[in-house]
Amino acid sequence: MKFFPGGKRFLHREKLRRLYEKTYNLYIRDAYRILGSVEEAEDIVQSVFVQIQEDSRLFYNLTDMEDVPAIQYIRRMVYSASHRYKVEKEKKAGKLPAGEECLDLILSLLEKFPSEERMILDVYFRFHDLTLQKLADLCGIHQNEIKERYAAAKRRMENELKRYHIRVDWYL
Question: What is the chain's pLDDT, residue by residue, as a tens digit (172 residues)?
Answer: 344 445 566 778 888 888 889 999 999 999 999 899 999 999 999 999 988 888 878 888 877 888 888 888 888 889 889 988 987 887 776 554 555 567 778 878 888 888 888 888 888 877 766 778 888 888 888 888 888 888 898 899 888 888 877 777 777 7
Is-contact 62 70, C-beta < 8 A?
Answer: yes
3-class SS string, the chain: CCCCCCHHHHHHHHHHHHHHHHHHHHHHHHHHHHHCCHHHHHHHHHHHHHHHHHCHHHHHHHHHCCHHHHHHHHHHHHHHHHHHHHHHHHHHCCCCCCHHHHHHHHHHHHHHCCHHHHHHHHHHHHCCCCCHHHHHHHHCCCHHHHHHHHHHHHHHHHHHHHCCCCCCCCCC
pTM over 0.75: no
Which CATH fold topology does 96-172 show?
Arc Repressor Mutant, subunit A (1.10.10)
Buried-exposed string 130-167: b where 16+ CB fall within 10 A, e elsewhere: beeeebbebbebeeeebeebbeebbebbeebbeebebe
Distance between CA 96 and CA 94 in Å, rounded?
7
Q: Please report, for the chain, the start and end positions of each structural domain, with discontinuous segments joined by +.
A: 1-95, 96-172
